[in-house]
Structure 1
Amino acid sequence: MSSRVVPPSTRFKAVTLREYWEVYESSVGGLEVFWAREAGRLLWRKPWEAVRVGEGPGSRWFVGGELSPYENIVLRHSGTWVWRKPALVWEDEAGEARVVTYAQLDQMISRIAGGLRSLGVQRGDWVVVYSPPSVEAVAAMLAAVRLGAPFEPVFTGFSARELARRLRRRGAKVLVAADGFLRRGRPVRTLEAAREAMASAGTGARLVVVERLGCSLREGELSFDDLLSAGGEPGSAAVPSDHPLFGLHSGYESDFEPITHPAGGFLVQVYATTRWMGLRPRDTYFCTVWPGWITGVAYVVFGPLIVGSAVLLYEGGPDWPSWGRWLELIDSYAVTVFLTTSSALRMMARQDPSLLKGNLDTLKAVLVTAEPLEREVWEWAYTRLANLSIPVVDSAGRGTVPVVNLYIQSEVGTFVTGNLLNYTFPPVAPGSAGPPIPGFHVDVVDGEGRSVRGSPGRLVLRAPWPSMPVE
């Protein structure tokens, strides 16, 4: 196989490396013009007065502008055909499934937002969510967004101590936690960790429990059904562009710091990159990264819903009851875009091929994140996952749809490098995280800050980006 590959399905969209660099250099040579054009695709209640003010970490984008994040994520589809189509498709390890349309999701979010407001949540108050990927978890996050309340999702693999640190740092008003879920055939009980974290944090937050495995609530705790029945019809809060939308934390001990993304800049970035990486309203999209990590927030909770895609949520493990489970889900739900991690593909590549069953003909792209995928694993994914069962006459003889590496950082908020199926698609270089995405002034430098090529260095961004963290 050559050092660079253009799969047959993308040849009509492919650009040469020279053409790609022309697009990229034009974008970074006029960042404000470039991102203002993308910002114009959102719905603004009040137009911005300046595209960008300031330099470096203190820069702010779309200054003076106001928008309703919820209107841009969900309500934008009201009155269109998307409103009646699936927004979320959920399945657990036991095979129980649920489908929620955009209209139904909006109704659910409205009720949850009313419940949160009855608990005293106001604009600017933090809501923390401790749950596997579920309809309730996504709806709770978006209900906070609807009120103008920022949220932080916490990975359920984190201990009570880690959850408590986040509750304390955010001064959380409410914690929404699942009582547990099934993983690899065994119950994972998260309510105990949630209770321990609440006691340790001492923030006075209210605990709302999503009952899945069955539990007895203690005094002062509310069930998710209580939240739904609280009543009220909250509006869709408009906020300044730099208003906190959501947050995560980086590091563990001495470098434990909050990362909080602004509403306007983040939504501009995530809407643009989601479109560019190939998602459309008719797509069914499966991301195996859970909310709690930046990929799971940006490209499960936000991007696909803004675009109008159907999002498949699965809270089980990749290897239960066999390593073919994810492929069975792709087959069952006719998934068109599959996003997973390099480590997951490495593990799958080691398994008995007879276990990896499923018709993957609906796939139009396999997207990979977290770290660069070694060339040999990339070739396995290209020939096994991205190869139609229907013969295709092609000189390459292997692979039909692209397997694309994308790089993301919590601080940036979205993908920052990678081949883009619906924007700039130069030939794929297996083993690489792809070229810089237009709009991000990316460089690699040595210890002295000098640009380097062909040798290891540090990835840096030489200019601000719209979702510069506000803390």
Structure 2
Amino acid sequence: MSQSATGAFDALFHETRKFPPSTELTAHGNVSDPAIYEQARHDPEAFWDARAREQIDWFHPWNQILDWKPPFAKWFIGGTLNASYNCVDRHAHGERANKPAIIFEGEPGDQRVITYAQLLEEVTLAAAMLRHLGVQKGDKVAIYLPMIPEAVISMLACARLGAPHTVVFGGFSPDSLADRINDCGANFVITADGGWRRGKVVHLKDNADEAMAKTDHVKRCVVVRRVGDAASIHMDPNRDIWWHDAEAETRASGATDCPPEQLDSEHPLFILYTSGSTGKPKGVQHSTAGYLLWAKLTMDWTFDLQPSDIFWCTADIGWITGHTYVAYGPLAAGATQIIFEGVPTFPNAGRFWQMIER
């Protein structure tokens, strides 16, 4: 590489210009008073104490804001809460009950709108279903689904029970799925018969079967019927059950009421694995309170989310961006968000723009 080219490349890492927001944008933003920076600098613990009280609903308050023993930090010691409650119940029981929480569009063009009240019904039933199948607080649940509402519903149902989930990107191989199941010790798997991508079926259940053959501790596998007759799959009668059948069994049992568990602030919410591009994927555990507070606040501060906004993060649910800005952040903020199953270029390069116009 020539010296001039090297210099141009290096310049990309040394930007000194600043681009502050306009005065008009600042005046109407969720955060318009610059004093917030001084408050955070002057007394960080008091600052985060106030934010946690403002933004999150708690079952029991904390008795210590921060326990900091580098590199480990524990937040809101002694407090109890539930992420599912904060993302669903508090909105469904309030003025947002009939507000759309999720606007879904599948790659084939099928659409579905779920209000907060409906989302509460679906999450509660899904949590009761998982409990009926044997999922208990502390159990690990692997989620291997396309970008469909059941992906978010599954995450929230796990959070409701206190069962940490590990979401695996639907494009990952059976070996990648097996590695993550084995590493975190997941006893339960949620997958689908398949998903749509560029007009073709991604055979998720087949991949999951291959992965589970390389584990010895998966007790049950719940299968969402997404592609139907477009895929022929094998169902192990001793392990596998269709999502809709499991829900029907739960209704028949009468045990459909599933209130959110009161969980410690540091209770694990999920384990998400690094990509493995520089070695073996590493599981990163996120605890409930600190993660949820930051997800909610960045929706307000970074995206300046307003009540009438429709939010769309195009990231897959299998990445941390998808966790934070498809599942927990928008719903904790009471937003309306879009979930899209396909890719931006199918059936044509205008797919995203057509959806945005609608």
Give the TM-score normalised by the residue count of structure 2: 0.86
Contact 2:92 2:120 in 1 (8 A): no
Contact 1:208 1:223 in 2 (8 A): yes
1:251 Cα deviation from its structure 2 partner: 4.5
Query: Which residue matches 1:249?
Result: 273
1:14 Cα deviation from its structure 2 partner: 7.8
**CA distance, structure 2, for counterparts of residue 54 and residue 7 of structure 1:** 37
1:24 Cα deviation from its structure 2 partner: 3.2
Match of 1:280 among 306, 315, 324: 306
**CA distance, structure 2, for counterparts of residue 308 and residue 158 of structure 1:** 31
SS at match of 1:74: helix
**CA distance, structure 2, for counterparts of residue 282 and residue 128 of structure 1:** 34
Asked whether 1:83 is paired with 2:97, we answer yes
**CA distance, structure 2, for counterparts of residue 14 and residue 7 of structure 1:** 11
Query: Which residue matches 2:352?
Result: 326
Contact 2:81 2:263 in 1 (8 A): yes
1:69 Cα deviation from its structure 2 partner: 2.1
Contact 2:77 2:265 in 1 (8 A): yes
Contact 2:189 2:218 in 1 (8 A): no
**CA distance, structure 2, for counterparts of residue 86 and residue 194 of structure 1:** 32
1:239 Cα deviation from its structure 2 partner: 0.5
Query: Which residue matches 1:32?
Result: 45
Asked whether 1:317 is paired with 2:343, we answer yes
Cα offsets for 1:263-289 (capped at 9, x unmatched): 111111111111112223322111100
Contact 2:269 2:288 in 1 (8 A): yes
CA distance 1:6–1:240, shift in 2 (3 Å): closer
**CA distance, structure 1, for counterparts of residue 129 and residue 97 of structure 2:** 24
**Unaligned runs of at least 5 residues, structure 1:** 333-471
Letter in 1 for 2:213: A
Cα offsets for 1:341-380 (capped at 9, x unmatched): xxxxxxxxxxxxxxxxxxxxxxxxxxxxxxxxxxxxxxxx
Give the TM-score normalised by the residue count of structure 1: 0.66
**Unaligned runs of at least 5 residues, structure 2:** 1-16
Letter in 1 for 2:27: F
Query: Which residue matches 1:165?
Result: 179
Match of 2:194 among 180, 190, 193: 180
Asked whether 1:53 is paired with 2:53, we answer no
Query: Which residue matches 1:240?
Result: 264
Structure holding more helix per residue: 2
Letter in 2 for 1:304: P
CA distance 1:270–1:11, shift in 2 (3 Å): closer
Cα offsets for 1:176-226 (capped at 9, x unmatched): 112212211222211111111111122223111111122443323100102
Query: Which residue matches 1:462?
Result: none
Asked whether 1:206 is paired with 2:220, we answer yes
Cα offsets for 1:388-428 (capped at 9, x unmatched): xxxxxxxxxxxxxxxxxxxxxxxxxxxxxxxxxxxxxxxxx
Count of residues in Structure 1 that have an aligned counterpart in Structure 2:
328
**CA distance, structure 2, for counterparts of residue 322 and residue 5 of structure 1:** 36
Query: Which residue matches 2:25?
Result: 10
Output aligned runs, 1:188-203, within 5 Å: 188-203=202-217
Query: Which residue matches 1:302?
Result: 328
**CA distance, structure 2, for counterparts of residue 212 and residue 164 of structure 1:** 22
Query: Which residue matches 1:335?
Result: none
Percent identity, aligned pairs only? Answer: 36
CA RMSD of aligned residues (A): 2.2
Contact 1:68 1:237 in 2 (8 A): yes
CA distance 1:227–1:8, shift in 2 (3 Å): farther
Contact 2:137 2:163 in 1 (8 A): yes
Contact 1:6 1:14 in 2 (8 A): no
Contact 2:317 2:326 in 1 (8 A): yes
1:118 Cα deviation from its structure 2 partner: 1.2
CA distance 1:24–1:7, shift in 2 (3 Å): closer
Query: Which residue matches 2:289?
Result: 264
**CA distance, structure 1, for counterparts of residue 36 and residue 125 of structure 2:** 45
Query: Which residue matches 1:124?
Result: 138
Match of 1:221 among 226, 240, 243: 240
Query: Which residue matches 1:98?
Result: 112
Contact 2:29 2:304 in 1 (8 A): no
Letter in 2 for 1:149: A
SS at match of 2:96: helix
Letter in 1 for 2:245: D
Letter in 2 for 1:12: A
Contact 2:93 2:117 in 1 (8 A): no
Contact 1:124 1:150 in 2 (8 A): yes
SS at match of 1:107: helix
1:311 Cα deviation from its structure 2 partner: 1.3
SS at match of 1:288: coil
Output aligned runs, 1:353-392, within 5 Å: none
Contact 1:280 1:307 in 2 (8 A): no
SS at match of 1:44: coil
Letter in 2 for 1:222: I
